Each structure stands twice: as structure tokens, then as C-alpha cells.
Amino acid sequence: MTASTSSRDGADQPSKIDLSTLQTESRNPRTTELDVVSTLEMCRMFNHEDMLVPMAVSQHLETIARIIDRLTERVRRGGRVVYLGAGTSGRLGVLDASEILIAGGDHALRHPVEGAEDSREECIATLRSLSPPLGPDDSVIGIASSGRTPALRTEGNCEEVVECVVGGEVVTGSTRMKAGTATKLILNMVSSGVMIRIGKTFGNLMVDVRTSNEKLVVRARGILRSILDSLPPTTGLALVSAGKLDLQDDVAVSELIERCGGVKVAAVVVRWACGVPEARERLDRAGGVLKPALV
């Protein structure tokens, strides 16, 4: 289950769920002979069960879209997104987020900590320890395979809940498998969707790429050229027209991107033959989204 935790009645009540009734603990009738089939057949079982996961996720696209829209509004106002998870769920959050709270602390990320997911007190204390404190524009996304993890059923209530039922695991109770895959797919959509909505892409190009190594420098050049090539023929490239930039000159293009501090500003500079401050102003007026800043 993936939920943005902030408004669901009763979410802070002690969990009394019978674990034997949980889908994540159910035995999969299709894999009961897992230990005696051939290795190839075992792999087919894995593959078949994995193929069921995207269909399960597809049942929740409307909810996921609402979560993306809610988060986008808050992030635009300067809000933070905090992922809160235990065990494998927390580790999946690490793959997807820049600010993560792991039940059991940082040590639990690399070393299993028994009972961490049951520590409601630690969860509350960790949330309250954030600096600056959580505010009205901040969002907390709780991640749990079963949906009953006490560490996530604590502060406040939930605005949205994604209860993605993937059925019994290939190996009973091993939620790092199908449940983990579903979690990763959902988090991919949420984080990528928010980044797209706040202007981190031009089409499907990552325009806020940081040129921290040679591979990314080459990628940034390619992105800038692709952006400029995609503009309508009637759209002039003032810097090129003025003879101040040869887009085929790798060194010149790389220097421009570095001087501008990134691809987005560089694209605006080339389009309008303006200085970096004006280019940033144009982007600010466009809400940080590149396309409207180029027309």
C-alpha cells in the first residue's frame, strides 16, 4: 500500500489485524510446487506472477493521478515530500526520494532491525524531529506492503490511499517480490509525475540534468540540440541567427550550458539572444516550465 499520510479517520488507532488474513501472507496456489519444478519452469512462474503486477497497479491510476496533482501544488509552493517506510518498503523509498525517513533509522537501511516497523513512538519522534518541522505544504507518503504497519498508522490521517492487491507472492510472505514491484511502479509514477508537472522535462527530455560528469555533459548537449530542433520552423534562434553560436560546436555548446547553469536557461538564451538574468526571468514568468518560455 502506498498512501500520502495526512487525513484518514482512525489511522492512529492500534492495529489489531489478524496477519493470517492479509493478502501479503496468503499462499499462492500457482507456485506450491516451486521447489520441485525445473529451474526454467521456476523462472516462468516468477515471470508470470510479475506480469500480473502492472495490471493490479492500473486499477489505481485515478488515485495516483490525484496524488501527483496534490503533491505538485504543494511542491510549487515550496513544500517537501517525505517518504516513510519500514524494511523493504523503506529501501524502495530510498531509490526514489532525496529525503527519506527509515523506520529503525539510517542503520536499518543497511542492517535489518527487528521490530522497527512496529515502533509507533519512533515514527512519531522521527517525523517531529524534521527541521524545519512539517508544515501545511509538506506531504508524507507512507509505504507498506500490508497496509497495517504500525509505524505508518500514526500521525494524523490519510488524504489518499492506494491499496494495490497483487495476490500471494511466489514465495509466501516475500513482499520484496510482487508487492515490492508494485510499490516501485507506483513511486515511479508519483515522483516522475510531480517532476514533469513542475517543469523538469521538455517533452520526455530531462532539462534539469546536472552536468557532473562527461556522460552528462554529452547528454546535456544532446538535450539542448533536441529541444531547439523541435521548435517550429517559424521560431527563430536569435543567438544562432546572430552568428554568436554554432550548435554543432561541442565546446561552444558545453560552455554555453555551463555559463547558463543548465539546459533550460541555455535554451532560452539561444532562443531570444538574451542574457542569463533575462532568461531566468522569462523562465520564472513561465512558472519554471521551458516550453512557454520559448514562445
- Identify the pLDDT of residue 4: 39
DSSP 277: H
Which residue in 67, 53, 42 sits closest to 176, CA to CA? Answer: 53
Confidence band for 107, pLDDT divided at 50, 70 and 90: low
CATH topology agreement for domains 2-197 and 201-293: no
pLDDT digits (tens, 9 = 90+) for 1-51: 344 333 333 334 444 555 556 677 788 999 999 999 999 999 999 999 999
**What's domain 2-197's architecture?**
3-Layer(aba) Sandwich (3.40)
Tell me the mean pLDDT in the region 123-133. 81
DSSP H or E segment with residue 88: helix 87-96
Contact 209, 219 (CB under 8 A): yes
pLDDT digits (tens, 9 = 90+) for 247-280: 999 999 999 999 999 999 999 999 999 999 999 9
Express as a percent the part of the chain with pLDDT over 70: 81
Q: Is the dihedral of CA 265, 270, 272, 278 positive or negative?
A: positive
- Checking if the pLDDT of 183 tops 90, the result is yes
Question: What are the extents of the domains in the chain?
Answer: 2-197, 201-293
Which residue in 63, 68, 111, 103 sits closest to 83, CA to CA? Answer: 103
- Checking if the pLDDT of 123 tops 80, the result is no
Confidence band for 150, pLDDT divided at 50, 70 and 90: low
Q: State the pTM of this model.
A: 0.81
The C-alpha atoms of residue 204 and residue 161 are separated, in whole angstroms, by 28
Q: Give the residue numbers marked as catalytic.
A: 99, 117
What fold characterizes domain 201-293?
Helicase, Ruva Protein; domain 3 (1.10.8)
SS3 168: coil
Which residue in 153, 149, 190 sits closest to 57, CA to CA? Answer: 190
- Identify the pLDDT of residue 201: 95
